[in-house]
Amino acid sequence: MKNKILIGLLILLGVLFVLDISIRLFYCSGISLQFNSQEFNNIGSPIISLLGFAGLVLTIILSTSQLKHQQGLPYFEFYKKYIDDMAQSRLGDASTGFSTLELLGFIKYGRKIYQRIRENPEYIHDQKAYEGGAEVINAGKMYDNALGTARLFSAYLDILLKRYRSTIAEIVENKFLDRSQQDLLLKHLFETQVDKYYYGCVILNTNPDLKEVRENLYLAFDSNVKYKLFFNENFFALYHRIENDPRLKKLMEVKTG
């Protein structure tokens, strides 16, 4: 909106400037049959006054924009540091936790853990039974230890993706950040982290070699567990948010372009 106002004012100033020059040429170059200074003043003075008023409005708009930019600088620095810290952070302790980079490698992890549990025939049996409507309990089974590590990974990944969603919302809704500052922060977040998640989702949805992992890697068969699959609807929530938000989607399109 602000850019449209500025463009409109510049166009108006240009039109008035050309009109003012044309009138002056008409009266001062002898084109008119008779020069009347009073008539010239009657025509020229309002135009000059209007030019001055438009210039004043433009100055106020630019000053307001600059002030907003200055007010947003502390928030810009805060979010930039927060984004950088997320990229270097680790969820959990050294023995059972995962770094951000490891969590964003969810395809590699999912494929590895799926191969591990598929080596246990009991898992294959229980999976088919569960999908056939039978009540299955994975607790105490030989493969449950592997599912336990998958559940831990999934829990930490869920925390990370929630942080991304909340950070995006905070940046977009922050009233002190101007549009350019918001765009720079979003670009930084996407280029350093979110794009790895987004393109991972694209690969999961399009690569036929990963279809079995995506559809058959269960976290648990227990009915008390909300999300049964490793790659569940909660996992894809940020992906759908990006797909349905033109502003966020454009960040990915710029990179692919």
Same domain, 66 and 172: no
Strands of 21-112 (E only): list them.
90-91, 98-99
Same domain, 58 and 98: no
Residue 178, in any domain of the structure? yes
What per-residue confidence (pLDDT) applies to 252?
87
Residue 79, in any domain of the structure? no
Distance, CA of 217 to CA of 115 (rounded, Å): 10
182 touches 171 (CB < 8 A) = yes
Mean pLDDT of 196-219: 96
As for how many domains the chain has, the answer is 2
Same domain, 166 and 224: yes
Of 220, 239, 209, the C-alpha closest to 115 is: 209
Same domain, 136 and 191: yes
Residue 133, sorted as left (phi over 0), alpha (psi -120 to 50) or beta, turns out to be left
Minimum mean pLDDT among 9-18, 176-185, 244-253: which range? 9-18
| Residue 257 scores a pLDDT above 50 | no
Same domain, 65 and 111: no
Same domain, 252 and 220: yes
Same domain, 52 and 97: no
Of 196, 173, 176, the C-alpha closest to 86 is: 196
Same domain, 23 and 136: no
Mean pLDDT of 195-217: 96
Mean pLDDT of 8-23: 64
Same domain, 189 and 246: yes
State the DSSP code for 218: B
Residue 77, in any domain of the structure? no
Residue 199, in any domain of the structure? yes
Same domain, 165 and 248: yes
Which of 40, 70, 100 marks a domain boundary?
A: 70
Residue 82, in any domain of the structure? no
Strands of the chain (E only): list them.
90-91, 98-99
68-81 per-position pLDDT tens digit = 557 789 999 999 99
State the DSSP code for 57: H
Same domain, 117 and 242: yes
Same domain, 222 and 166: yes
Domain carrying residue 53: 2-70
Residue 133, in any domain of the structure? yes
Residue 43, in any domain of the structure? yes
100 touches 161 (CB < 8 A) = no
Q: What stretch of H or E contains 86?
A: helix 37-88
